[in-house]
Structure 1
């Protein structure tokens, strides 16, 4: 399990590093695209249906529908942590809503998922003054003893600084990381490995400055993993403000004493991936997957991560059904379960369907926020890239023509794209994504109705074109 958790964390990090940094990185290189005129003409013929789908969302029957549906969903269920009854109720709800929209081919596949329950938790500064330290335990953290831990704290700015200290200076203390935020991909290692690095020096607990560029005294949670053969110590995130405060106190020579209490437990439960199929007309054995994850962390309501991605993927089925558009290939929407605790749902799907990968034509995932759509994060062959660029030309009316070819399109589909199966993720203007990520700030207020309409229109039209064009997206060259 530990090996899988570490691998899953790395997969998520690689995706995030390359797709939602503070400034979107879009490939500028030009390809020599030797597409045949038949392929170009075939793609160009989708101009009208692309505009029809966009209009259907932006000023037609589905205007505001994505936001309204997401709003009702998160207002009803709130956050949806892996293993909770709340998550399972939300899955039942999506099945019911799908059938209410006259889509009958919806089913689930069971998955054994982790159920990490944080329980009671708090951190309290006891010396040199008494102050509550808002905190959020990190996923898979062990609990403290029932009465908590009271220990002196030592504040460090980096792993290098920690490693330079004598073990005796760290032993039996709580290590506080006041690391500078560079970007998520660089800084998140403190969340991922902070507990184990502190434990190697004999620490009894760890507190991490939340991995975010912006704070309003709000801690951010997320997954961490323990190294093998290292004592597991409790670990949580605290706010920027408090991490900086503790550093200043230490610099003034003050003794810092913190009480830390966590009652987290870990078990397993049964959850489900939710699958919706529109069977293809003439190439039904070929499959295009469009997806997002339905679970969330246990703070906020998961509107952004990943309610928006799940709902634009769901709306693709609703829109195409209402517009009587049925592609040649089977279009499969998947709402993944237990992504946040280690890509558990997608990994199980991959194992269960490993003999079907030859039939996967294209895989899509939206899990980097749903903000102003810019285009697509693409992984695949050069010829496929030329085809994707040609398809993206059809979205000039909404300025969503960009392609990014660096990095992974999405964590849940990474098992396929790393094996050469072409795939895409939503490229969007996500510069403030990490302001809200894994925090109480991930609420519906982050989402904009008109922008959701544009993103859902793009996601629907793009998935339909890829599923319907005459040629498969080639895996090579």
Structure 2
């Protein structure tokens, strides 16, 4: 709970400890003391963790079109109301239903082995009896692109590229291309199906799913990811120089039936400029594997907690804090696309925003994307965050993460916080994305950072566009 009876000398003393010395502060002494109070409370609170525990236990996985997604929308509204949000509402979206179905795979010859496999999101299924065909191996997506048309007739294309582990997750980009466009490229070469090494950095026998897309006018073929150990096993069989025959059977399908989900939006209403918004967000949905604890339960717990604790201050902040829990991020940023379309006429009132949708450890860097004059304010914020181990990046070109990136594209100034992501892709889009992977102590630091950012942006009055 907040201590609301601090004496004025205590307020000034706390502010002196916080204030950057290199420039005039945007926050008053009392506001700096409130910022410190928010920092202390969030660093000692387990609210974020309890919210994630509630979401993963009472809802679980929540892909659009599933019962879990419907539960999640109700859960989010109820939690916002319980946490004291002034306004809570939903904005519905619709899309076609994709059904994962079942998937099984095995090496038929020369050395029969069972494989662990997951259909990629949006993939079509195989014929009822499956596909059995020789494997054509490619080390990279570029190698697959270089294959001659017709060279894969009657074969299953296999791309074995291994994702690299990095603290900032930069290995994801080079690896994810196969998942997104590989099936259509393989189909253009004549392949019957695509299998690929999972986009992940683990050595667990669990496969990683994720969204794929088909190219218009190209035959749609089944696409699936193998666990990393099974991809290794397949490579080892191929090294022996004998033809390797593979069997893949999937019952996934995309239906014409439309399903509904919703962005869940809540606000702590500003006391002086309620029309101006500081926007923090995460995505509410998850894949239908695991319980979505990291992706994106972490973000959900953090942004709900940040708004709650700011709302517990004696007075509402000057600007509105808007929390957006986006629908259907995993299936194509559908909630974000709808939000930008709905709110195009008030985008100028979105003063700055940040989303969490990557990482599982402490935040170590803040990357701004603001107007040149506003950089002085960002430097001030950096001074407040520095004791938490957060440095200021030298560049000023940040685009917000995931859904919020579309708001950045629409003109919203943004902050991108960089957390430790070394272990994130061990669990990303797998059955292993579960509550036990959440580090409760690291979560306190990340929640404190998002809370302090939100309060500073709402209270300082800085025009982050200038």
* Structures share fold, TM-score greater than 0.5: yes
1:313–1:472: structure 2 CA closer, same or farther, 3 Å change rule?
Answer: same
1:214–1:466: structure 2 CA closer, same or farther, 3 Å change rule?
Answer: same
Query: Take 2:275 and 2:269, find their aligned partners in 1: how far apart are those partners?
Result: 9
Contact 1:137–1:236 under 8 Å retained in 2: yes
SS at match of 2:181: helix
Report the CA distance between 1:77 and its aligned residue. Answer: 1.6
TM-score (norm 1): 0.87
Report the CA distance between 1:104 and its aligned residue. Answer: 4.5
Report the CA distance between 1:303 and its aligned residue. Answer: 0.8
Report the CA distance between 1:252 and its aligned residue. Answer: 1.5
In structure 1, the partner of 2:24 is: 40
Q: Does 1:106 align with 2:88?
A: yes
In structure 1, the partner of 2:3 is: none
SS at match of 2:212: coil
Report the CA distance between 1:349 and its aligned residue. Answer: 0.8
Moved more, 312-321 or 196-205: 312-321
In structure 2, the partner of 1:200 is: 188
Query: Take 1:471 and 1:246, find their aligned partners in 2: how far apart are those partners?
Result: 56
In structure 1, the partner of 2:177 is: 189
Contact 1:309–1:369 under 8 Å retained in 2: no
Any idea what the Cα deviations from partners look like across 1:323-353, whole Å, max 9, x if unmatched?
Answer: 3341111111111010011110011011011
Report the CA distance between 1:432 and its aligned residue. Answer: 1.7
Any idea what the Cα deviations from partners look like across 1:344-385, whole Å, max 9, x if unmatched?
Answer: 001101101111112111112111134212242322222223
In structure 1, the partner of 2:439 is: 448
Query: Take 2:459 and 2:79, find their aligned partners in 1: how far apart are those partners?
Result: 26
Report the CA distance between 1:222 and its aligned residue. Answer: 0.7
In structure 1, the partner of 2:36 is: 51
Which of 109, 114, 119 is equivalent to 1:127? 109
In structure 1, the partner of 2:9 is: none
Query: Take 1:206 and 1:173, find their aligned partners in 2: how far apart are those partners?
Result: 9
In structure 1, the partner of 2:222 is: 234
Contact 1:125–1:259 under 8 Å retained in 2: yes
Report the CA distance between 1:271 and its aligned residue. Answer: 0.6
Contact 2:348–2:411 under 8 Å retained in 1: no
Query: Take 1:426 and 1:444, find their aligned partners in 2: how far apart are those partners?
Result: 22
In structure 2, the partner of 1:15 is: none
Contact 2:132–2:245 under 8 Å retained in 1: yes
Q: Does 1:218 align with 2:202?
A: no
Which of 323, 339, 364 is equivalent to 1:374? 364
Which of 292, 316, 325 is equivalent to 1:302? 292
SS at match of 1:41: coil
Any idea what the Cα deviations from partners look like across 1:151-197, whole Å, max 9, x if unmatched?
Answer: 12111112343345454541111111112334111121111121111
In structure 1, the partner of 2:275 is: 285
Which of 391, 401, 414 is equivalent to 2:405? 414
Which of 134, 149, 154 is equivalent to 2:131? 149
Contact 1:113–1:338 under 8 Å retained in 2: no
1:386–1:41: structure 2 CA closer, same or farther, 3 Å change rule?
Answer: closer
TM-score (norm 2): 0.89
SS at match of 1:188: helix
Query: Take 2:91 and 2:203, find their aligned partners in 1: how far apart are those partners?
Result: 39
Query: Take 2:28 and 2:115, find their aligned partners in 1: how far apart are those partners?
Result: 58
1:261–1:44: structure 2 CA closer, same or farther, 3 Å change rule?
Answer: farther
1:288–1:39: structure 2 CA closer, same or farther, 3 Å change rule?
Answer: farther
Report the CA distance between 1:422 and its aligned residue. Answer: 0.7
In structure 2, the partner of 1:89 is: 71
In structure 2, the partner of 1:262 is: 250
Consecutive unaligned residues in structure 2, runs of 5 or more? 1-20, 165-170
RMSD: 2.0
Query: Take 1:292 and 1:160, find their aligned partners in 2: how far apart are those partners?
Result: 33
Contact 1:293–1:306 under 8 Å retained in 2: yes
Contact 1:175–1:203 under 8 Å retained in 2: yes
In structure 1, the partner of 2:380 is: 390
Q: Does 1:313 align with 2:303?
A: yes
Any idea what the Cα deviations from partners look like across 1:191-218, whole Å, max 9, x if unmatched?
Answer: 1121111101100001011112232222
Q: Does 1:323 align with 2:313?
A: yes
SS at match of 2:373: helix
Report the CA distance between 1:251 and its aligned residue. Answer: 2.5
In structure 2, the partner of 1:26 is: none
Consecutive unaligned residues in structure 1, runs of 5 or more? 1-36
Query: Take 1:44 and 1:376, find their aligned partners in 2: how far apart are those partners?
Result: 23
In structure 1, the partner of 2:167 is: none
Moved more, 440-449 or 100-109: 100-109
Query: Take 2:185 and 2:69, find their aligned partners in 1: how far apart are those partners?
Result: 33
Query: Take 1:68 and 1:241, find their aligned partners in 2: how far apart are those partners?
Result: 34
In structure 1, the partner of 2:335 is: 345
Contact 1:108–1:272 under 8 Å retained in 2: yes
Report the CA distance between 1:102 and its aligned residue. Answer: 3.5
Query: Take 1:160 and 1:99, find their aligned partners in 2: how far apart are those partners?
Result: 50
